[in-house]
A and B are shown apart, each in its own frame.
Chain A
Amino acid sequence: MPVIPSFPLHDLPSHSNPEQNTIDWAALRRDFPVLLQLAHNKPLAYLDNAATTQKPNAVIETIARYYRVDNANVHRGTYQLSERATQAYEAIRDKVRRFLNASRREEIIFVRGTTEAINLVAQSYARPKIKAGDEILISAMEHHSNIVPWQMACKQTGAQLRVIPINDSADIILERYEQLLGEKTRLLAVTQMSNALGTINPVKRMIAMAHEREIPVLLDGAQAAPHLCVDVQDLDCDFYAFSSHKIYGPTGVGVLYGKENYLDAMEPYQGGGDMISRVSFEHTEYNNLPYKFEAGTPNIAGVVGLGAALDYLETIGLSNIVRREQYLLDYATQKLLSVEGLRIIGTARHKASIISFVLDCAHPHDISTILDCQGVAIRAGHHCAMPVMERFDVPATARSSLAFYNNEADIDQLVLGLEQVKKLFN
């Protein structure tokens, strides 16, 4: 892999031409074998990265190599192969710690994905702690996975779910947020970046406001982790969740970061092997962090694959990726706004990589089918954020979501496809 210099974000103009720096983005695109195929005899323009990202050869080969060479169960065997598997698995914990800039490796829990991470916090932290009359605060732009687990915890305890409203540009209304932070608020769970609208929320400020009232904060980082530089100590969030498959790693793996004092005080989420230190029929002593929360054989190959994805990103430099994607977002926004009858849903000042839109002449589902036939893969629907659709009074949107490996040609192909939609429906 080429050695790529990493530029600090603030040294460069935010809308600079990526061609001016030394990164060969076209070469990086070729690292993703899926992108080399044709779709309906057209080059595949994959613009559904918010749903899942494609995997570079480095990730695919690392997983294959793990199964070919290193496969054994972890934390158990007293033979060399098992030691190697354990080392490979645990090395990724250190890697994730660095990626998030967490202070301790014990604060990194491997789970199945963002959804499981949030459910874990809802059941192991919130449920035992909250009582009838307490409140959990979320925002109006949450993914269902940051709504339903809290609804379940509320139902179990008699607590109430309160929702911070958003304005017409899809920004959180901070004045309303401040009003909602009250005596009864026990937790704030908010997305760092909206999957349906692209909004980047002012989470650092929101966390500081919550902490002034000693309210802990969980950040849903499913969309943010691949597209922003995340530093959990700087943000000072108490929990952070993200998924491997949205950050160029395999499906079925995710990470929960939690501050040690919180994780320590929490009961395990699931019982089983690996999460115990001593078991009898009368009594069980739980294992230490992080193993207390990792019952059963983990997704070892998946974790190892996530590690390869993080290595790959580190080589490119996340700040370079942020800048590249900002350029692509600006390019796509300009191009899409030139399409007559197109309206972008979600026009926050701080956005990344996601453009939701509707056309006045065609339903998102029809748009998506016609684009598919032009080789363009986008998502049409409610994006697992039905309340967002209701807020903007649309049944669904078409959503184009970018990754650094996308290029101007992908976006041009999308716009050309939309012209076809208009020709058919006008």
Chain B
Amino acid sequence: MNEELRALYQEVIIDHGRHPRNFKKLEGYSCCQEAYNPLCGDRLTLYLKLDKDKILDASFEGGGCAISMASTSLMIERIKNTRISEAQQLFDSFHHLVTAPDSGADVSAPLGKLKVLGGVRDFPTRIKCATLAWHALKAGLENVDHDKSVSTE
């Protein structure tokens, strides 16, 4: 198997893709955001429980490829108990991680385990799979009215 592929499908991604964490509907959520990638049919609903400026809890439901499932599962682990402003910064860092060329400089330190998704940058057709949950997060945090679905298109 070639190196790029091995970098893309790391053990952590396969594991979270197969056994996503926090995969349930959240009781008492304060915001629920749908997201859809029409290209491949990935579809998810992100639940957030917010308290003023903090994300207390998060979960998701839905279905998709290993990359989108793992990205969502890892994102939720990371954003639980973080400030909303920090989660918004994480969106930018993650976007940079999967779209910008690997500069060698470790600008993605705050992303922690999410760094395993860096291999996506070599697969332009898969960037939308990795960022779907993040678009849902961003829309969920920004929208007062959370009924609208976001799309990667």
Contacts and interface: CB of A to CB of B under 8 A. Distances in A.
Contacts of A166: none
Interface string A40-60: 100000000000000000000
Given A369-B126, A373-B2, A424-B14, A381 B66 contact: no
A369 B38 CA distance: 17
B43 interface: yes
Nearest to A380: B40
Contacts of B123: 369
A362 B66 contact: yes
B41 A396 contact: yes
A364 interface: yes
Contact of A382 (B41, B63, B64): B41
A362 B125 CA distance: 17
B41 A425 contact: no
A395 B68 CA distance: 14
Interface in A379-426: 380-382, 389, 395-396, 420, 424-425
B5 interface: yes
B26 interface: no
Interface in B34-58: 38-43
Contacts of B23: none
Interface secondary structure of A, over-half rule: helix
B8 A395 contact: no
Given A369-B123, A369-B126, A425-B66, A364 B40 contact: yes
A104 interface: no
A228 interface: no
Contacts of A424: 1, 9, 14
B37 to A, nearest CB: 9
Contacts of B102: none
A420 B2 CA distance: 11
Contacts of A366: 9, 65-67
Contact of A369 (B8, B18, B43): B8
Given A395-B64, A425-B14, A389 B41 contact: yes
Contact of A40 (B2, B43, B63, B126): B2
Contacts of B40: 363-365, 380-382, 395-396
A369 B1 CA distance: 12
A365 B2 contact: no
Nearest to A367: B65
Interface secondary structure of B, over-half rule: mixed
Contacts of B129: 365
A342 interface: no
A345 to B, nearest CB: 13
Interface residues of A, number: 18
Contact of A395 (B4, B9, B41, B66): B41
Contacts of B126: 365, 369
Given A365-B126, A395-B63, A395-B64, A370 B5 contact: yes
Interface string A164-175: 000000000000
A272 B134 CA distance: 47
Contacts of A362: 66
Contacts of A365: 40, 42, 64-65, 67, 126, 129
B7 to A, nearest CB: 11
Nearest to B66: A366
A395 B2 contact: no
Nearest to A425: B14
B65 A373 contact: no
A381 B41 contact: yes
B152 to A, nearest CB: 12
B42 A381 contact: no
A369 B130 CA distance: 14
Nearest to B8: A369
A370 B14 CA distance: 13
B92 to A, nearest CB: 25
A317 B118 CA distance: 50
Contacts of A364: 40, 65
12 contacts: A365-B40, A366-B66, A369-B5, A369-B125, A373-B1, A373-B2, A373-B5, A380-B40, A381-B41, A382-B40, A396-B41, A420-B1
Interface of A: 40, 362-366, 369-370, 373, 380-382, 389, 395-396, 420, 424-425
The 10 closest A-B CB pairs, nearest first, are A395-B41, A363-B65, A365-B65, A396-B41, A365-B40, A373-B5, A366-B66, A366-B65, A373-B2, A381-B40
Given A363-B64, A366-B9, A395-B64, 18 more contacts: A363-B65, A364-B65, A365-B65, A365-B126, A369-B5, A370-B5, A373-B4, A373-B5, A381-B41, A382-B38, A389-B41, A395-B40, A395-B41, A395-B43, A395-B63, A424-B1, A424-B9, A425-B14
